Structure 1
Amino acid sequence: MKIEGVIIAGGEAARMKKREKPLMLLRGHPLAGHVVERVRLQVSTLTLNVKEETASLYAECTATAELPLVFDRFRGQAGPLGGVLAALDGAAARGATWLATFPADTPFLPHDLVARLAEAAHEGAPSVAVTEAKVQGLCALWPVGCRARLAEGMEAGRYRSLWWTLDDLSAVRCRFDDETAFFNVNTEDDLEEAEAIARLS
């Protein structure tokens, strides 16, 4: 099973006053850099999905500068699914069979995330991490073979919500008990809370 990975960093960060959230600092290092360190050894190849207009910012960031950049196939309102589809295209071209996706603003991801998702997965369907609180939609493992169906659904406007799409693709849910591992930084208050979590870890 050849598994590639992509960090999805192409969001709008509306609650961060339009600042580039993955580049905001946690304990002196960009959020995206924490994600890189957590996941890079879990996959064969790691890429970074960003908006084209912010690419230079990531190229200048030492924590992400070595990662190949992936831009959405569909520009506009595709949301994170646009990054997932573009990364699936690249993974297919390189002969990978699975793609792991990670959010760029979740700095405490489990070191065994991909292994557990792979154990839960079955051929033809994604697997996705879930906690008691929610489905962690971007912490998922996607079969490369689903990309044609994903593209068709996006082109038709049927696939817009990440969570609805995963359900429609019959995603297997993989339970994780540690809520903190999936702590998501969406606001400045969240960033302060992440600092406190990092000090205790």
Structure 2
Amino acid sequence: MKIVSSPHPVAITGVILAGGRGSRMGGEDKGLILWQNTPLYQHVLQRLQPQVTTVWINANRNIEVYQQSGVPVIKDTLADFPGPLAGMLAALQQAETEWVVFTSCDTPCLPDNLVQHLWQQKNEALAVWARTEERDHPTLALLHRSLADSLQSYLARGDRKLMLFLTQAGGHSVLFMQSAEKFRNFNCPEDLL
């Protein structure tokens, strides 16, 4: 495990969420799609790694390819690709750190102060997520691992709405001013141009 000096006083696990179906990308594994000749998840890894104690990748296919990055790969504990909350649950259940920060695999320009700003603005909340002036970015979130049980119950009821879970957990958004370009994500092939 690589320990780095960080701007927050506690160990934080970073998790890149790459476990989705990639439906809007024609079923391709979004994290492995090339942008600027590098897989999207590699861009995210390079930006996230200096901000956290350790990084994991949550993936449900192409595990061997993701393992080539040298970081641990964890799979969803629930079947049938139930969405980002399933990846979050798997990480919260396995994390050794109290706090886990999540990023999507298709947000290659992440700000270098993502974790620091979420940490500084969380106050007493057990969940916070990024927001720009334009919209919320709930897959870019900092969660306390104590939320694992309530998240498991939420998913067991068939609920899948990420924002609803985060707000029910008492969470709030954290505004990143003039940062829309940093949070740009790639949902369909046209976004890669």
**TM-score for both structures, normalised by structure 2:** 0.90
* 2:19 matches 1:15: no
- In the TM superposition, what whole-angstrom CA distance separates every residue of 1:69-100 from its partner, at most 9, and x where no partner exists? 11111112521101001001111xx2x11000
**TM-score for both structures, normalised by structure 1:** 0.87
Structure 1 residue runs without a partner (length 5+): 193-201
Q: What residue is the counterpart of 1:72 in the other structure?
A: 76
Structure 2 Cα separation of the partners of residues 100 and 79 of structure 1: 17
In the alignment of these two chains, the number of paired residues is: 183
RMSD: 1.3
Larger helix proportion of the pair:
1
Structure 2 Cα separation of the partners of residues 185 and 31 of structure 1: 9
Q: In 2, are the aligned partners of 1:4 and 1:98 still within 8 Å (CA)?
A: yes
- In the TM superposition, what whole-angstrom CA distance separates every residue of 1:139-197 from its partner, at most 9, and x where no partner exists? 1000111111111111122x3111111111121210012100000001111001xxxxx
Change (3 A) 1:124 1:144: farther
Change (3 A) 1:187 1:133: same
Change (3 A) 1:12 1:181: same
Correspondences of 1:1-201 after superposition (within 5 Å): 1-51=10-60, 53-60=61-68, 65-91=69-95, 94=96, 96-123=97-124, 125-157=126-158, 159-177=159-177, 178-192=179-193
Q: How much identity, in percent, do the aligned residues show?
A: 32
Structure 1 Cα separation of the partners of residues 90 and 46 of structure 2: 23
